[in-house]
Amino acid sequence: MMQTDKTVLLDMFRTMNKIRFFESEVQKFFAAGQIPGFVHLYLGEEAVATGVCAALGKSDMITSTHRGHGHCLAKGGDLNLMMAEIFGRLDGYCKGKGGSMHIADFNIGILGANGIVGGGGPLSVGAALSCQYKGNKDVAVCFFGDGASNQGTTQESLNLASAWKLPLVFVNENNGYAISLAQRKAMAVTDIADRAAAYDMPGVVVDGNDVLAVYEAAQQAVERAREGQGPSLIECKTYRWRGHFEGDACVYRSEEELAEWKAKDPIPRFARQLVDREVATQAELDAITNEVAEAVAAAVRFAEQSPYPSEEHLVEDVYA
Amino acid sequence: MKVGLIANPASGKDIRRIVAHGSVFDNQEKVRMVRRILTGLREAGVEEVLFMPDSYAIVERALLDLPADRRPPSIEPLVYWQHNTQEDTVRAAELLEEAGAAVMIVLGGDGTARAACRGSRNLPILALSTGTNNVFPVMTEATVAGLAAGILASGALPMDKGCYEADILEILVNGEVRDLALVDVAVAREAFVGSRAVWDMDRISALFLARCKADSIGLSAIGGQIVHCAPDSGTGLALDLQGPAQRTVRAAIAPGLFVSAGIASHSIMHKGETFAVEQSGVLALDGERDLVLHKKDTACVRLALRGVQVVDVPKTLEAARTRTLFARQIG
């Protein structure tokens, strides 16, 4: 079952807070008109990316989604480079020309956020095939949403991953809505894990707001993949606090529903567990929270001080 | 003649599909089982069913494809706020008892049946297996299960002719009953509940079993290799797995998962006799890590003086046969 040491647990707490502060700052600066393009915030879903990526090593790979900030941060993405990219600045991951949905860092296994719903599946199959071919024991993780689960690309990826017994873990973040469409209105079977059986792979449902439940499931699925036993599907039931995108009026869901999920906030829930089980004192957790808040504030300053790309940068790094 | 119906949309989907070889029990199968239960209830003359609403709408989906003349006339949801947690089942069972249901039919695994019994220890329960380790719930065709429950609920057969009292375990923390288990309590050297399931015996220091037998699955299978405790025997089994092992037992503690467990000693548990839990950690109740014990807590486990009433489907239908409830002489 769970072998947890304090360092791992506090790192998870740090990561969850890093995502929370990061996304809160993005929300604020987007509202102030200082961030171009679209942003899709991960607020409320922090436990999923954190729990999964805590089970990965640096050379393992992830494919992400349009709601990708949390995945990239949890996999070790650089705060400054991410914030600068989202601000559209030259010092960002893509020199300010990609924005929120194109953040990638191949050196640490982030194969990219992705503006195409369901676009991550085939990429993750390719990544996992490369691990299998090289025999390096690395694994790939495919994050995808409930909407993406209906895309042919995702189903084809599930099939091929299982047919070839690839070292791949599919992590479904089921937040109940595909943009504005409630899952129950468009899906005959609302437990996405049920679909795993059709592809002869294990499918499990976990509480996506419980970082330890996610972590434990991810650990086991990753170990299974490393041992050559093939892919697994982990469905994490969770909820996004904000709209599909910033500016979404969210008329398709109720305040009561949002309040119910906010009461399940994964961060104070985890903090209570850590203090209750005497893993850490509240003072230690407060120190981590303050440290992360300062790091995110510094990332904003880094981004603000970075120049915008100029005209001569326009055609650089363009391959087609 | 009301019958309660609880179908857990989350059963049969936990981590044991990865760490063992558990089957995915999809919710559409639960829908089909509910249809068959309802036809059985109708056949027995049940007029009213109250059910737990759930996130998958299992009963509502079942009704979409079940003609009115094949189901009880009144099928209504219990009205309360759902949290999509185990507590929904607990609350549903409480409400069923308050509403005067005669029997509750529960679809799930051991964990679901336990949650229902936490909500009501008075209502007779008929637990049907749709979970992973199923010791308490039975694998019986839902149609005849519905028929059996209906016969008892409608009064066509006295309740005591179709039920038996199953022993259960009570968990006392600091002198007060905090929880119960229908089959097993495991003391896990864990700090957290995590993904709930138990599969690593190296992390288990003691086991308390309300029942065990050789052909069981789950943690009670370990005790089942030592003694046989029938569900209504009034005895249980306590196993110390922490001290120097006197014997090793090999047993299937999850589907497709055999483990070896070193047993230091074992003791027969009698009703009301308490057994101390020697260390802090997490108690796994009916195979799910659930109850966190702190260092300052003192905890113990006992076989309860009063168990729960369980509908025995074969016994009920055999009694119905001897009373010719469904057979008439012609001519």
pLDDT in tens, B117-159: 999 999 999 999 987 768 999 999 999 999 999 999 999 999 9
Which of A23-32, B131-140, B274-283 has the highest mean predicted lDDT (pLDDT)?
A23-32
- How wide is the angle at C-alpha B59 spanned by C-alphas B168 and B130, nearest 5°? 40
Q: How many other C-beta atoms are found inside a 10 Å radius of the C-beta of residue A313? A: 14
Nearest to B131 by CA among B17, B259, B257, B282: B17
User: DSSP string of A139-180?
Assistant: -EEEEEETTGGGSHHHHHHHHHHHHTT-SEEEEEEE-SEETT
pLDDT at A301 > cutoff 90: yes
Look over chain B and give the mean of its residue pLDDT values, rounded to a whole number.
Answer: 94
State the pLDDT at residue A21.
98
10 Å CB burial of residue A284 (0-12, 13-18, 19+) is: middle
Q: Which residues of B touch A172 (CB under 8 A)?
A: none
pLDDT at B317 > cutoff 80: yes
B296 and A CB contact within 8 Å: no
Q: Which residue has 């309860």 as its token pair? A: B304
Q: Work out the minimum CA distance from A277 to partner chain B, whole angstroms.
A: 6
State the pLDDT at residue B295.
86
Token digits for A190? 């609302």
Nearest CA in chain B to A194: B26
Q: Do domains B2-166+308-322 and B169-303 have the same CATH topology?
A: no
Beta bridge partners of B254: B257
pLDDT, tens only, A113-128: 999 999 999 999 999 9
User: DSSP string of A111-135?
Assistant: ----SSTT-HHHHHHHHHHHHHHHT
- pLDDT band per the 50, 70, 90 thresholds, residue A129: very high
Contact (Cβ atoms closer than 8 angstroms) between residue A228 and residue A165: yes
pLDDT at A2 > cutoff 80: no
CATH architecture of A6-306: 3-Layer(aba) Sandwich (3.40)
The span from the CA of B328 to the CA of B26, in Å, is 40
Query: How many percent of chain B have pLDDT more than 70?
Result: 100
Q: At what angle do helices A46-53 and A266-276 cross, to 10 degrees?
A: 60
pLDDT at A320 > cutoff 80: no
User: DSSP string of B263-329?
Assistant: ESEEEEEEBT-EEEE-S-EEEEETTEEEEEE-TT--EEEEE-SS-EEEE-HHHHHHHHHHTTSS---
The span from the CA of B79 to the CA of B187, in Å, is 36
Chain pair A-B, CB pairs under 8 angstroms: 89
Q: List CB contacts of B85: < 8 A, sequence separation 6 or more.
A: none
A269 and B CB contact within 8 Å: no
Domain boundaries, chain B: 2-166+308-322, 169-303
Which amino acid is located at B260 in the chain?
S
State the pLDDT at residue A10.
97
Tell me the backbone φ, ψ of residue A247, rounded to 5 degrees.
110, -15
Domain B169-303 has CATH 1.20.1530: no
B257 and A CB contact within 8 Å: no
In angstroms, the first-to-last Cα distance of chain B is: 32
pTM: 0.92
Token digits for A319? 């391959």
- pLDDT band per the 50, 70, 90 thresholds, residue B331: confident
pLDDT, tens only, A28-49: 999 999 999 999 999 999 999 9
Contact (Cβ atoms closer than 8 angstroms) between residue B239 and residue B206: yes
Nearest to B286 by CA among B14, B9, B101: B14
Report the greatest alpha carbon distance in chain B. Answer: 74
DSSP H helices, chain B, are: 16-19, 27-43, 58-64, 86-99, 110-119, 142-153, 220-224, 313-322
pLDDT, tens only, B213-240: 999 999 999 999 999 999 999 999 999 9
Contact (Cβ atoms closer than 8 angstroms) between residue A216 and residue B198: no
SS3 B186: strand
The CATH number of B2-166+308-322, from 3.30.365, 2.40.10, 1.25.10, 3.40.50, is: 3.40.50
Q: Which residues of B touch A220 (CB under 8 A)?
A: 15, 18-19
The span from the CA of A49 to the CA of A68, in Å, is 9
Determine, for residues B18 and A277 on separate chains, whether the beta-carbon distance falls below 8 Å: no
Comparing CB atoms, the residue among B23, B26, B194 nearest residue A1 is B194
Determine, for residues B192 and A2 on separate chains, whether the beta-carbon distance falls below 8 Å: yes
Determine, for residues B194 and A213 on separate chains, whether the beta-carbon distance falls below 8 Å: yes
Determine, for residues A217 and B9 on separate chains, whether the beta-carbon distance falls below 8 Å: no
Determine, for residues B24 and A279 on separate chains, whether the beta-carbon distance falls below 8 Å: no
pLDDT at B191 > cutoff 90: no
Comparing CB atoms, the residue among A205, A212, A279 nearest residue B194 is A212
Q: Which residue has 């659930």 as its token pair? A: B290
Beta bridge partners of B180: B170
Q: Which residues of A touch B27 (CB under 8 A)?
A: 189-191, 194
State the pLDDT at residue A273.
94
Of how many residues is chain B composed?
331
Q: Which residues of B touch A237 (CB under 8 A)?
A: 84
User: Which one-letter DSSP state was computed for residue B68?
Assistant: G
Q: How many other C-beta atoms are found inside a 10 Å radius of the C-beta of residue B67? A: 8
The dihedral built from the CA positions of residue A186, A157, B14 and B292, taken in this order, carries a sign that is negative
Nearest CA in chain A to B294: A277
B190 and A CB contact within 8 Å: yes
pLDDT at A3 > cutoff 70: no
A51 and B CB contact within 8 Å: no
User: Which one-letter DSSP state was computed for residue A102?
Assistant: G
B191 and A CB contact within 8 Å: yes
Q: Which residue has 């057994």 as its token pair? A: B275
State the pLDDT at residue A4.
76
Beta bridge partners of B212: B229
Pick the residue of B11, B16, B18, B19 with the most A CBs within 10 A to test the interface with A by mutation: B18
- How wide is the angle at C-alpha B34 spanned by C-alphas A203 and B76, nearest 5°? 120
- pLDDT band per the 50, 70, 90 thresholds, residue A296: very high
Contact (Cβ atoms closer than 8 angstroms) between residue A209 and residue A14: no
More confident residue, A217 or B80: A217
- Kindly state the average pLDDT of the residues B172-201: 92
A162 and B CB contact within 8 Å: no
Residue B227: C-alpha distances to residues A59, B201, B230 (Å): 50, 19, 10
ipTM of the complex: 0.86
Q: A98-112, B123-137, B205-219, B307-321: which range is least confident on average?
A: B123-137
State the pLDDT at residue B311.
98
* Beta strands A140-145 and A61-63, pairing class: parallel
pLDDT, tens only, A196-254: 999 999 999 999 999 999 999 999 999 999 999 999 999 999 999 999 999 999 999 99
Q: Which residues of A touch B18 (CB under 8 A)?
A: 202, 204, 217, 220-221, 224, 232
Token digits for A311? 């005209």
* Beta strands B235-240 and B265-270, pairing class: antiparallel
pLDDT at A16 > cutoff 80: yes
Tell me the backbone φ, ψ of residue A177, rounded to 5 degrees.
-140, 135
Contact (Cβ atoms closer than 8 angstroms) between residue A272 and residue A52: no
B246 and A CB contact within 8 Å: no
Comparing CB atoms, the residue among B9, B199, B295 nearest residue A1 is B199
pLDDT, tens only, B48-74: 999 999 989 999 999 998 999 999 999
The span from the CA of A110 to the CA of A23, in Å, is 18
- pLDDT band per the 50, 70, 90 thresholds, residue A309: very high
Nearest CA in chain B to A261: B83
Q: CA torsion, points B278, B282, B284, B289, in degrees to nearest 10?
A: -170
A226 and B CB contact within 8 Å: no
